[in-house]
Amino acid sequence: QVQLVESGGGLVQPGGSLRLSCQASGSFSGIYAMGWYRQAPGKQRELVAGLPSGGSANYADSVKGRFTISRDNAKTVYLQMNSLKPEDTAVYYCSILALGRVWWGQGTQVTVSS
C-alpha cells in the first residue's frame, strides 16, 4: 500500500507564490513517476506537472515558466508555484506510479484571490 500526504495549499493573492509538498509512504521501493494534477470546480482533473523517474519534467502549457516540479529523495515531490493567477485556483492532487498502479493524495486547496 501507498499513502500520499500533501501540504502547502492555501489562500494567496494574484502574483504570489506557494510551495506544495507530497510525502509518499508505505511498503514499496520504486516510484516510476510522480506528478501534480488539479481540478477546478466544474472542470476535469488535469495534469499540471509530471516527473518521470530518470526523465525530464513536463508541464501544462498554462503553467510553463511559472511552476516547477522537483523531487528531493525517493519519496517526496514538490510543486513550486510562482506568479499565481486566479485561474490557478483548484484542488491540487499529488500522484505517483508505483506497484503497478497510480496512487492519489487527498488533495490540497489552492485559492488565488485578492
The total of other beta-carbon atoms located within 10 Å of residue 45's CB is 15
Q: Which of 31-35, 55-59, 71-75 comes out lowest in average pLDDT?
A: 71-75
Residue 26 predicted with pLDDT over 80? yes
Euclidean distance between CA atoms 7 and 35, whole angstroms:
14
- Read off the pLDDT band of 27 (50, 70, 90): confident
pLDDT for residue 54: 81
Provide the total of helices (H) and of strands (E) in the chain, helices listed first: 0, 11
With contact defined as beta carbons under 8 Å apart, do 112 and 90 qualify?
no
Tell which residue, 30, 31, 22, has the closest CA to residue 4.
22
